Copies of this chain bind each other. A is one copy, B any other.
Amino acid sequence: MDRKEVETSSSRGHQREKQREQLILAAESRIANSGVASLRARDLAGDIGVALGSIYNLVADLDELILIVGSRTLARLDAALGEAAAAHDASKRDGAIERLIAIAHRYRAFASEHRFLWRALFEFQLAEGREVPDWVSADLKHIFRNIVEPLGTLMPRAQPEQRALMAHTLFCAVHGVVSLGLQGKMVAVPAEIVDTEVERLLRLTCAGLLQEG
C-alpha cells in the first residue's frame, strides 16, 4: 500500500502489459495470415518467447484473445468506413446515396484486404453461456451512425427508430452480398462484381425510398 509497493506493482504491471500487447499483436498477425481456426497457444508462446503456461497469465484463454483482436479489427473497420463516408455530403440526396455506396464499397474492400481478420469477426462463436462484450455493441452503434445520417436525407418523414432499423437492414444486406460473394461459399464472385452488386442493390433501395416520399 505504501509508495514503494505502488511503484513496484506499477512497474511490474507495465512489464506485464507490454507482454500482453506483444501477445495480442502476435495473435493478430497469426489470425491475419492463417485464419482464426489455426491459432495455437503453443505458437503464440513461441512467438513472444514465453512458456506455454504464461499465456494464461496474460489472458484468460484464447477466446479472450480472439475477442481483443476482434475489437481492434472493428476499430479499423470503423475508421475505414468513416473515411469513406466523409467524402460525400449526406445532406443532399445524391450525396446521401453516394455515401451509402462509398461505405459499402469500402466495406467490401476492407473484407478483401483483411480477409481473415474480417472473417474472424463473424466466424468466431462465443463459448456457450458467454456473452458478447459491451464494446461490440458500442463500436457497431458508432459504425451505424455513418449509415443513419444519409438515411435522414433519404427518409425525411421517418422516425429515428425507422431509420435505425433501415440502417440495420442495409448493413446486413450489404454484408450478406459481400460475405457470400467473397467467401465463395456458393460461387466465388470477383470483387468487382460484388461491388456492382452492392451498388445496384443500394441504388434500387434508395430509389424505392425516394419514391415513397
Stretch in A18-26, A61-69, A87-95, A204-212 with 4+ CB within 8 Å of B: A204-212
Q: Which of A89-142 contact B (CB under 8 A)?
A: 122-123, 125, 132, 136-137, 140
Q: Is the CB of B197 within 8 A of A169?
A: yes
Q: Is the CB of A137 within 8 A of B186?
A: yes
Copies in the complex: 2
A145 contacts B by Cβ under 8 Å: no
Chain B hits for A205, CB < 8 A: 201, 204-205, 208
A148 contacts B by Cβ under 8 Å: no
Main DSSP-derived SS at the A contact region: helix
A59 contacts B by Cβ under 8 Å: no
Contact residues on A (Cβ < 8 Å of other chain), bracket: 35 or more
Residues of A near any B CB (own CB < 8 A): 37, 122-123, 125, 132, 136-137, 140, 165-166, 168-177, 179-181, 184-187, 189, 193, 197-198, 200-201, 203-209, 211
